[in-house]
Amino acid sequence: MYSSILPFKYSDTSRRWTRFHAEKKGIRVFGIAESFKKSCVTSALAGIVMRRDLIIDGMVFGTATIRGNDSTQNILTMFRSLRRNDVNCIMLDGLIISMYNIINGEEIREKTGVPVIAITFKDSEGLEGTIERHFPNESMLKLEQYRNLGQRDQILLKTEKSVFLRYWGLSSKEASAIVNSFTLQGSIPEPIRIAKLAARASIRRSSQ
């Protein structure tokens, strides 16, 4: 059924992808987004497994420490807890979450064997100065993490909205095709939009 897609095999992270067909309904994306209150110690992370036909067939929750350094490992834990061998791409709602808890997209790609796309929605002149102000005692670590994120590619979606992408394990053309395939309107792909809603609901529930 999925012969045109080379799937991720859970027990073999050394496998590399050779083909990617964004138009196939069987493609599954694991979209991750967060929600938090500044008064909290941790943020809520939600992960949604969504097929190309927009059917949701998986969900998982996690946390990240506000101003911490655990987002990458916690996302890896979320992914592994799914124990899925049919996820074709991990889609992140940005790489700087939970008040500068910086995600390492390349490490997630290497440790899962699954291509990673990180999406942001606004242009930026850089955050070095802000990081130095907020983290005077660990600015060197945070700045290194930030600079290692690399450059972003700006793409114009079929909805005529622009987004900025970083990606690992696939080409710019493939990343753009995947994002376009999962974006119905505006600039937010459906896996990210639903994950945001789930994360916000988790925060509201925990604060009751």
**Residue 15 banded pLDDT, cuts 50, 70, 90:** very low
- The answer to the question of residue 167 being in a domain is yes
pTM of the model: 0.87
- The answer to the question of residue 11 being in a domain is no
- The answer to the question of residue 63 being in a domain is yes
- The tens digit of pLDDT for each residue in 105-146 reads 999 999 999 999 999 999 888 899 999 999 988 889 999 999
Which pLDDT value is given to residue 17?
Answer: 44
Which pLDDT value is given to residue 39?
Answer: 83
Contact (CB, 8 A) for 182 and 81: no
Q: What angle do CA 67, 71, 75 make, to 5 degrees?
A: 160
Average pLDDT over residues 176-205: 95
Please compute, for residue 172, the number of CA atoms within 13 A of its CA located in the half-sphere on the CB side.
8
Q: Which helix (H) or strand (E) holds 116?
A: strand 116-120
CATH number where 163 lies:
3.30.2170.10
Which pLDDT value is given to residue 205?
Answer: 78
- The answer to the question of residue 164 being in a domain is yes
Which pLDDT value is given to residue 207?
Answer: 65
Q: Parallel, antiparallel, or unpaired for β 162-168 and 56-65?
A: unpaired
Residue whose pair of structure tokens reads 């807890």 in the numeric block: 81
The total of structural domains in the chain comes to: 1
Residue 12 reports pLDDT greater than 70 = no
Which pLDDT value is given to residue 20?
Answer: 56
- The answer to the question of residue 147 being in a domain is yes
- The answer to the question of residue 32 being in a domain is yes
Give me the domain span that covers residue 142: 28-201
- The answer to the question of residue 206 being in a domain is no
Average pLDDT over residues 26-30: 92
Average pLDDT over residues 3-32: 56
Strands of the 162-168 sheet, one edge to the other: 56-65, 42-51, 28-35, 89-92, 116-120, 162-168, 153-156
- The answer to the question of residue 6 being in a domain is no
Contact (CB, 8 A) for 43 and 195: no
